[in-house]
C-alpha cells in the first residue's frame, strides 16, 4: 500500500518566543512524508537545488521515504522561507520567501508514484495539482491542500481542481474564503457539493473537524504545555491522516475518524520542537500512547439524563 505526495521540499529559517533556527529542513512535502512514513510507504515528488546536502537527504532515508521523484537542479537553490511567530502561535509573520527552483517546478511522476493507492496534492499552483490528479488515474483517494493566496487570485481554477479530488484539508479561514460563507458547517456543505467524499477543516489550537455527506466528527487538539514551532503542523496532520488511511484496506467513516485522531497525534508532536526535529526521532510507542490519550480524553458513557420528580 503506497502513498504519493507532491509538494515543496524546502529550507526554513524560524524565530519564535522559544528560540531560533537559521536554516532547517522544511516544506509541505517534507513534513507530510515524514509523518505519513510511520504508517505506509511514501513517495515524495518535489524539487531541490544543489545546496541540498546529505544531512537533509538522510532524514528521508532514515524513514525509508522514496525520493526518486525529487528533482535536483545542481546549479539552483532550494526553496527558502523565513518566518517569525509571536506569542500568538496561530499567526506566522513571513519575513522572506525565495521560491528559487520551486518557481518553475513541474512535477515529474514515475510510474510508481502515479500508481500509488492514495495521493496528496500539497499546496502548489492549482493547475499543477489538477495535472497531477489527472496523471494518477488509478488512485482510490486523492486529497489536496491550498492557501488563501490561490483562493483570492485564482478561485475559479482552484474550484475546478477541488472538483476532481475526494477530500480537501484546509483551515477554517480558507473554508470561509473559498465559499464566501462565515459558518464553517455551511461552508463544508458547499464544498462537499462539488463532489467530494470528505472535507477536513483545521482549527489550530481548537482541533479539526471532519465533514462527510452523512456524518460529522470533531477531534480536539492535544493539550500541550509548550508549543515551540507550529510550522508544518498542518502538513504533518495531513500526513498522519493520509498515512493511516493508506494502511487500511478500505476507507469508511470509521477509518476516516481514526485517521483524524492520528493526524492530530502527529501534529501534536510536530509543534513540540523546531522543524522536523521531533517527528524525525519519534517512536511508535509514543504515537500509540498519545492515541490512547486521545481516546481517554474524548470518551464518555452514554447515560441519558432523567430528571427526578419529587412531590
HSE, side-chain direction, 13 A CA sphere, residue 21: 18
Residue 311 pLDDT class (50, 70, 90 cuts): low
pLDDT tens track for 201-260: 998 888 999 999 999 999 999 998 888 889 999 999 999 999 999 999 999 999 999 999
Residue 177 pLDDT class (50, 70, 90 cuts): very high
Instruction: Note the pLDDT of residue 7.
Output: 97
pLDDT tens track for 254-299: 999 999 999 999 999 999 999 999 999 999 999 999 999 999 998 8
The DSSP code sequence of 25-41 is EE-HHHHHHHHHTTTSE
**Pairwise CA distance, residues 169 & 242, whole Å:** 10
Helices (H), the chain: 28-36, 54-62, 111-114, 126-135, 148-153, 155-162, 172-179, 184-192, 233-246, 253-270, 277-280, 284-298
Question: Counting every residue, how long is the chain?
Answer: 311
- What is the layout of strands, in order, in the sheet containing 19-26? 19-26, 10-16, 80-85, 92-98
Instruction: Note the pLDDT of residue 225.
Output: 80
Q: What pTM does this model have?
A: 0.95
**Domain 2-297 belongs to what architecture?**
3-Layer(aba) Sandwich (3.40)
Amino acid at each position: 500500500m503506497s502513498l504519493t505526495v507532491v509538494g515543496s521540499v524546502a529550507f526554513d529559517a524560524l524565530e519564535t518566543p522559544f528560540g531560533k533556527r537559521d536554516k532547517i529542513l522544511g516544506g509541505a512535502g517534507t513534513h507530510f512524508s515524514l509523518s505519513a512514513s510511520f504508517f505506509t510507504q511514501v513517495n515524495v515528488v518535489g524539487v531541490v537545488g544543489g545546496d541540498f546536502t546529505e544531512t537533509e537527504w538522510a532524514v528521508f532515508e532514515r524513514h525509508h521515504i522514496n525520493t526518486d521523484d525529487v528533482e535536483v537542479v545542481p546549479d539552483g537553490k532550494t526553496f527558502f522561507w523565513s518566518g517569525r511567530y509571536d506569542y500568538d502561535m496561530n499567526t506566522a509573520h513571513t519575513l522572506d520567501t525565495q521560491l528559487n527552483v520551486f518557481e518553475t517546478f513541474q512535477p515529474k511522476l514515475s510510474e510508481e508514484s502515479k500508481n500509488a493507492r492514495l495521493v496528496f496534492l500539497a499546496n502548489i499552483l492549482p493547475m499543477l495539482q489538477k495535472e497531477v490528479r489527472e496523471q494518477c488515474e488509478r488512485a482510490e483517494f486523492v486529497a489536496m491542500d491550498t492557501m488563501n493566496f490561490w483562493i483570492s487570485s485564482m478561485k475559479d481554477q482552484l474550484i475546478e481542481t477541488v472538483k476532481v479530488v475526494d477530500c480537501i484539508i484546509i483551515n477554517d479561514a480558507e473554508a470561509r474564503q473559498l465559499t464566501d460563507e462565515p459558518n464553517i458547517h455551511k461552508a463544508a456543505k458547499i464544498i462537499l457539493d462539488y463532489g467530494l467524499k470528505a472535507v477536513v477543516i483545521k482549527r489550530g489550537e481548537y482541533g479539526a473537524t471532519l465533514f462527510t455527506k452523512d456524518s460529522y466528527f470533531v477531534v480536539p487538539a492535544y493539550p500541550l504545555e509548550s508549543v515551540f514551532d507550529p510550522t508544518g503542523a498542518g502538513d504533518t496532520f495531513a500526513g498522519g491522516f493520509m498515512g493511516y488511511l493508506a494502511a487500511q484496506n478500505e476507507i469508511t467513516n470509521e477509518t476516516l475518524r481514526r485517521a483524524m485522531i492520528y493526524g492530530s497525534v502527529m501534529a501534536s508532536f510536530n509543534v513540540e520542537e523546531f522543524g522536523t526535529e521531533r517527528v524525525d526521532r519519534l517512536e511508535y510507542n509514543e504515537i500509540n500512547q498519545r492515541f490512547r490519550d486521545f481516546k481517554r480524553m474524548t470518551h464518555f458513557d452514554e447515560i441519558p439524563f432523567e430528571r427526578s420528580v419529587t412531590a
